[in-house]
């Protein structure tokens, strides 16, 4: 896995490189640690590597990598906090983009490439009800789906979700880094 431009997190990157090289990237992972230390960058790089056909993916130049960087790749789904800083569960209308129910519905559809790359950033901003709604999807994701949950506060994530994810803790960068 190409990690050019990523500073620090050597242990975490080595673990991810081994998983990627062995073809055993878990279907659900939790990246936890302080905000702003690079968890999302690492998650995006790992997910991009699943779609890139280069020798040391992601190459950052092929059409898949360019689309992922531009946010237009059809099989890359990001669930992010809204303008209020929350990720709402959503109503019965599953067309409310950016809600938990929209995400569950979107992930239930067949992917274009046979793989889904999923990034849920700010998972601590999902209500208990929303996290419970996500649980089934995390337990039994669509075949080929790789879900990375990012949180700055691990204690606000339901224990049932934590138990179903490979946990990778990120520490602040050192002064030298």
Q: Do residues 95 and 88 make contact, with C-beta atoms less than 8 angstroms apart?
A: no
**pLDDT given for residue 94 in this prediction:** 63
Q: What is the pLDDT of residues 85-95, one digit of tens each?
A: 999 998 876 67
Residue 10 neighbours by CB under 8 Å, 6+ apart: none
Residue 84 has pLDDT above 80, yes or no: yes
Tokens of 164: 């179903």
* pLDDT score for 91: 81
Indicate the average pLDDT of the chain. 93
Q: Is 3 helix (H, G, I), strand (E, B) or coil?
A: coil
Instruction: Please list, in sequence order, all residues whose beta carbon lies within 8 angstroms of the beta carbon of residue 12, skipping any fewer than 6 positions away.
Output: 42, 168, 170
Pairing of strands 166-169, 145-151: unpaired
Specify the range with the lowest mean pLDDT, choosing from 21-30, 52-61, 114-123, 142-151.
Answer: 52-61
Between residues 56 and 63, the one the model is more confident about: 63
pLDDT tens, residue by residue, 122-150: 999 999 999 999 999 999 988 899 999 99
Whether the bond into 142 is cis, omega within 30 of 0 = no
- pTM equals 0.93
Mean pLDDT over 154-161 rounds to 96
């Amino acid at each position: 896995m190409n990690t050019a431009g990523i500073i620090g997190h050597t242990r975490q990157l080595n673990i991810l490189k081994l998983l990627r090289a062995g073809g055993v990237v878990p279907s659900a992972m939790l990246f936890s640690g302080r905000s702003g230390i690079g968890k999302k960058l690492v998650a995006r790089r790992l997910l991009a590597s699943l779609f890139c056909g280069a020798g040391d993916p992601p190459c950052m130049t092929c059409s898949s990598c360019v689309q992922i960087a531009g946010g237009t790749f059809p099989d890359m789904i990001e669930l992010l906090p809204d303008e209020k800083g929350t990720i709402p569960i959503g109503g019965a209308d599953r067309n409310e983009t950016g809600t938990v129910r929209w995400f569950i519905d979107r992930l239930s559809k067949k992917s274009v490439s046979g793989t889904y790359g999923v990034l849920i950033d700010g998972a601590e901003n999902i209500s208990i009800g929303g996290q419970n709604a996500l649980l089934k999807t995390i337990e039994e994701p669509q075949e080929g789906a790789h879900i990375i949950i990012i949180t700055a506060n691990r204690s606000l994530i339901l224990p049932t979700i934590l138990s179903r994810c490979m946990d990778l803790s990120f520490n602040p960068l050192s002064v030298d880094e």
